[in-house]
Structure 1
Amino acid sequence: ERCFAELLLKMLIYSVAVLFLALQDSSGLKIYRSNVTECGNQGTMVYTVRRTFLEELNEIRASLAKGTVPSFPEAANMRFMAYDCNLEEEAIKLTATCDRFEDGTQSNRKRINVASFEWEGNGVIKVAKKAVAEWWDKKPHTWDKSQKITENDSMPFFLIAQAETDRVGCSVKICEYTHYNVACIFEKEAKVGHNLYEEGTACTDCAGHCYQKLCNATTSVQQ
């Protein structure tokens, strides 16, 4: 009986370990509290929403760095994107009027991604994920190393994927329970005519250290 009990215990421990590893693998890129700048609570913009934007944006950038996106080569200099409170303030002002962004999901003035969605009671975090996913879906169907950033419908994707862009601030506004307005403002404009990133093994062209396949020059990121 003792041997049987020990066997059951070992099986239980093994099952828990497998489940833990599976959860780790499925959770994607890790964003810790120290990665998210403390901007205070600004309406819907609280820590969990800011973290969601960083997780979604950096997960995309890491997938490009690793070369797991079809048609896109690995990126040697893709930077970790940090959160910026001043850019968030700009984004909050942009969404505050509740005027719908006419084209739904779009880019504006080369450094701003915006979106409007009908209110469905989905919650702010789901809306943040949806906005980033739709900007990502604007990517070109094919890409090669000779191509450059161009002024076209793919601009929302270029803003997310441009290697040198490493700061962002966002806002989600609930507008009278009729629709959501979303905006993310990036520190740098998409440089039309320039390379999206440098092709090569992830983190081989970094000024700082490597963090989850992304170049990071800050000291606040946990290892």
Structure 2
Amino acid sequence: MSCSPLFAALLLLSTIVSFCSGDGYDTPFGCSSTTITDDDRSSALDSMNNIRQDVANGRGLDVNLQALPAAKNMYKLLWSCSLEDQAETLAKQCSSSAPSVQSGQGYNYVLGSSNLEAQVYQWTTQIEYNKLANPSDGSAAVKEYSNIIQAKTTQVGCAQATCSGNMAIMCIFNQPNVVAGTQIYEQGTACTASTDCTTYADATCEDGLCVLPVPVSTETTAAGATGTATTVSAPTTTATGPTTNANPRPELNQWCPANGDMLDRIRTIALDAHNYRRSRLALGLVPKNNGNLLPAASNMRKLRYDCDLEKTAAEQAKQCQGRELNPTSQGGTQQNGNWMPVTASVPYRTEAMRESVKTWWRQVKLVNGIGMAVTFKTHHLQSSIRWFTRMAWATTERLGCGVIKCGYNFSTICLYQPGGNIVGSVVYVKGTSCNCPAGYTCSVSEQLCVANN
């Protein structure tokens, strides 16, 4: 059959579109689903691959803050639009239990209050609180983390759906779930050359991860077909001042449009990482350095993001001093600061924010802390436990952060109001979680107290 030159050109164009916009390791992914954006896909994929890269290179830490054994033949995950489509279909069922996936696939699923980016981050923190056995002992406490780092997995696709005020998050992997007896990864040396990648053919090596070529689909699609992306609405923020967007890409800066130095993705990480840990503390699930769990908290507030605090934090971060400006202050506005180098596992400000929050919080497991009476004492002002208590102070309600790249380092500052670290005061009231004072409503899924105004 013959065809006109015009028809042939259109056919070629449609094929090229399919070649250029299929599955991949980075934007544009070319997926048709509109429940998440390419920014969402990139953030989730980067989080998973950064964790895999850390494990492969022996930089992953276990529950005791000891290095996990390095891994050989750890493959970089590729985003699969077809897996995303399956995940979207299942997420929209809004099931209270995990939906069934196809044979040969694994999944991470939750019905809760977090969006995709925040939930992936929470899955990657399971290792901070639970022991990981390899081969797996089938522990449900690290099931999602284990699926994320399973070495033979090469593709993932995720989706989210709104379900009567909750969010259903579904990620599907192209390897079965890790179960008891599964070897999560083979211990060894991370790849340095393509010849080290032997599980699958045609892989190259990139920073310790084996990278497969992007699959090329020749299925023709209608040229010019597009979708309309939607995003999850931002949480309540407080701000004053002009509303003109100071960022040249306003769509990335909706929470605090007058502040051009930060992005919503970084703000989301900062806020969710803080509230996730405060929720764990409220539930009595945070261990001290001796392994004993701190008591549950009855009055733990859910933090709100404050744009004015962010503006100040960003200005302080720009000083590139890499430290707290007033470490022994009490009350008022409290500040946590962190200075860390740009590395393969921390290449962007998003990761610098994540790692800074981890650094501040993990002091509760590293140093002598606040004791079971949860009282802040004079000597705590000179201890790094003060970083943890700033994050954990129950009556703190507002958070604002800034992270700036200073040469080959990141400077991260977070500010807290009303601040804690008041000598002689309790960090929180011990008791049944979510016994909220007047003017607050309990967030049942988090066991945090949410201000009514």
Aligned twin of 1:146: 373
Aligned partners of 2:396 and 2:418 also within 8 Å:
yes
Aligned partners of 1:35 and 1:82 also within 8 Å:
yes
**255, 262, 266: which one aligns with 1:45:** 262
1:180 has 2:410 as partner: yes
Aligned twin of 2:448: 214
Pick closer, same or farther for the CA change 1:84–1:108 going to 2, 3 Å: farther
1:78 has 2:300 as partner: yes
Aligned partner letter, 1:127: A
3-state SS in 2 of match to 1:33: coil
Aligned twin of 1:162: 393
Pick closer, same or farther for the CA change 1:44–1:124 going to 2, 3 Å: farther
User: By how many angstroms is 1:146 displaced?
Assistant: 2.6
Aligned twin of 1:7: none
1:34 has 2:234 as partner: yes
What is the root-mean-square deviation in Å for CA atoms of aligned residues? 3.1
Cα distance in 2 for partners of 1:119, 1:108 equals 28
Aligned twin of 1:15: 100
Cα distance in 2 for partners of 1:39, 1:128 equals 17
- More displaced, 162-171 or 31-40? 31-40
1:63 has 2:276 as partner: no
Cα distance in 2 for partners of 1:41, 1:86 equals 10
Aligned partner letter, 1:63: R
* TM-superposition CA deviations, 1:120-169 (whole Å, max 9, x none): 25211111010000000122556544341132311111100010001010
Aligned twin of 1:89: 311
1:54 has 2:261 as partner: no
Aligned twin of 1:99: 321
Aligned twin of 1:4: none
Within 5 Å, give how 1:182-201 maps onto structure 2. Answer: 182-190=412-420, 191-201=422-432
Aligned twin of 1:114: 337
- More displaced, 132-141 or 13-22? 13-22
Cα distance in 2 for partners of 1:16, 1:76 equals 39
User: By how many angstroms is 1:102 displaced?
Assistant: 8.3
User: By how many angstroms is 1:41 displaced?
Assistant: 6.6
Aligned partner letter, 1:130: E
Cα distance in 2 for partners of 1:168, 1:108 equals 19
TM-score of the aligned structures, taking structure 2 as reference length? 0.41
Pick closer, same or farther for the CA change 1:53–1:107 going to 2, 3 Å: farther
Cα distance in 2 for partners of 1:166, 1:69 equals 20
Aligned partner letter, 2:355: K
3-state SS in 2 of match to 1:15: coil
Cα distance in 2 for partners of 1:22, 1:141 equals 36
Cα distance in 1 for partners of 2:107, 2:447 equals 22
Cα distance in 2 for partners of 1:194, 1:108 equals 15
* TM-superposition CA deviations, 1:41-91 (whole Å, max 9, x none): 744511111010011000110000011112301100000001001111110
3-state SS in 1 of match to 2:391: helix
Structure 2 residue runs without a partner (length 5+): 1-88, 91-98, 113-118, 124-165, 168-231, 238-254, 288-292
Cα distance in 1 for partners of 2:429, 2:396 equals 13
3-state SS in 2 of match to 1:22: strand
3-state SS in 2 of match to 1:189: coil
**Greater RCO, 1 or 2 (C-alpha within 8 Å, sep 6+):** 1
Cα distance in 1 for partners of 2:371, 2:111 equals 33
Pick closer, same or farther for the CA change 1:74–1:161 going to 2, 3 Å: same
Aligned partner letter, 2:299: N
3-state SS in 2 of match to 1:127: helix
3-state SS in 2 of match to 1:79: coil
Higher helix content, 1 or 2: 1
3-state SS in 1 of match to 2:449: strand
Pick closer, same or farther for the CA change 1:108–1:42 going to 2, 3 Å: farther
3-state SS in 1 of match to 2:363: coil
Cα distance in 2 for partners of 1:164, 1:172 equals 25
User: By how many angstroms is 1:98 displaced?
Assistant: 2.1
TM-score of the aligned structures, taking structure 1 as reference length? 0.79
The size of the alignment, in residue pairs, is 205
Aligned twin of 2:362: 137
* Aligned-pair identity (%): 26
User: By how many angstroms is 1:107 displaced?
Assistant: 4.4
Aligned partners of 2:259 and 2:311 also within 8 Å:
no
